[in-house]
Amino acid sequence: MKFRLSFILLLVVCSHLQAKIIMTPYLQAVTSNSVYVMVECDRPDTVTVSYSLTPDKWLTARSAVIALTDASPATYVHKVKLTGLIPGTRYSYFANQGNSVSGTASFSTAVVPGVPFRLVWMADCRTNTKVFAGISRNMAAANPVVAIYGGDLCHNPTYKAWKKEFFIKDQLDLVSQVPFFNATGNHEGWQQNTRAFTQGPASSSMTQDYYSFDYGDLHVLCLNYMIPYAKGSPQYEFAKSDLAQTRQPWKIVVVHSPAYCGGGHGEDAGMVIMTKEIFEPLHVDMVLAGHSHFYQHNLVNGIQHLVIGSAGAPLYSPEKAWYTVSQAKDYNFAVIDVSPEKILINVYNKQLVKLDSLEIAR
């Protein structure tokens, strides 16, 4: 009996020691006092994240949620929430599962209102990983503190596509240091792997399907193209109540499919309705979208509608509409500087040639 119990104990210990972190940890759902560290492993054994302001004092947090991917053999995304953090502060962190230990990286918590910050935006990075790798390096070189993505992170919702097209080295180098949010696109879909690999912040939506968050002076409504958004739907009603309640100086909406777009997939009738009935009356400043694979700046009734839509997906030809200010058939991403007084948007191609620049000021 003793031999059998010892043997079982040995198997458990060996299993724990052999547990393995299989991808560089990355960051999601940052706030001024919290962040999620996402750690993909080959086993469900508890993951511990150690984090610190100084090298001599480390705190720890453990797996809060474990999400199963559809990989075969199975993999597990451990979502470890770090709490009690100081706003606008840089922390170092690393993860371990048994004897498997990640490298050390760092991140910054969200700043408080009144403090300027820089974010980056890109969308539709699927398919051409060479282009996406270069854009990932360019975004990192811009030194942002947060990133927002517009969906279509991979060509299809399979585990293989996620790992081959989105979680490439240059992107992992970025998102291990810069937390990102994603407005789900039609290619990755709102399916098992998307739910496993992404984590939204807590918000009054009470769901991960769609949500909002504040970062400094910015309020961001993150919509989900794959969930009903027609008038009267829960997502439509949440958008209306959320934008009516915020008191942040700047309001932006991020979504995969744009309301206004000349060429490509064209206009999205449902988003046009939401724009006219919610965004315009509630004074949204800007809508960021992708879906059509080019750059296009559209201005309708005081709202800047930007289609910044290919960080790797095959390019489309834009067509000038009555509301189009500027456009380009090129791969693109944006660097956005937010302060209490203005939002400055600079759009670049993959060679870092500036395609456009615009400013929204009070």
What does the pLDDT look like over 232-264, one tens digit per residue?
A: 999 999 999 999 999 999 999 999 999 999 999
CATH architecture of 117-361: 4-Layer Sandwich (3.60)
Cis ω before 116 (30° cut-off from 0):
no
The percent of residues above 70 in pLDDT, for the chain, comes to: 95
Q: Is 117-361 in the same CATH topology as 19-108?
A: no
Domain range summary for the chain, segments of one domain joined by +: 19-108, 117-361
Long-range contacts of 134-137 (CB under 8 A, 24+ apart): 134/170, 134/350, 135/311, 135/312, 135/331, 135/333, 135/350, 136/168, 136/170, 136/171, 136/173, 136/174, 137/170, 137/173
Predicted pLDDT at 1:
45
The percent of residues above 90 in pLDDT, for the chain, comes to: 93
pLDDT band at 56 (very low <50, low <70, confident <90, very high): confident
Q: Look up residue 254 and give its two tokens.
A: 């991020």
Tell me the three state secondary structure of residue 59: strand
Predicted pLDDT at 18:
72
Residue 351 CB-density burial (10 A; 0-12 exposed, 13-18 middle, 19+ buried)? exposed
pLDDT band at 4 (very low <50, low <70, confident <90, very high): very low
**Which CATH class for the 19-108 domain?**
mainly beta
pTM of the shown model? 0.94
Predicted pLDDT at 16:
46
Answer whether residue 9 shows pLDDT above 50: no
Helices (H), the chain: 2-18, 129-141, 159-161, 169-175, 192-197, 234-245, 269-274
Mean pLDDT of 334-355: 98
Predicted pLDDT at 66:
97
pLDDT band at 362 (very low <50, low <70, confident <90, very high): confident
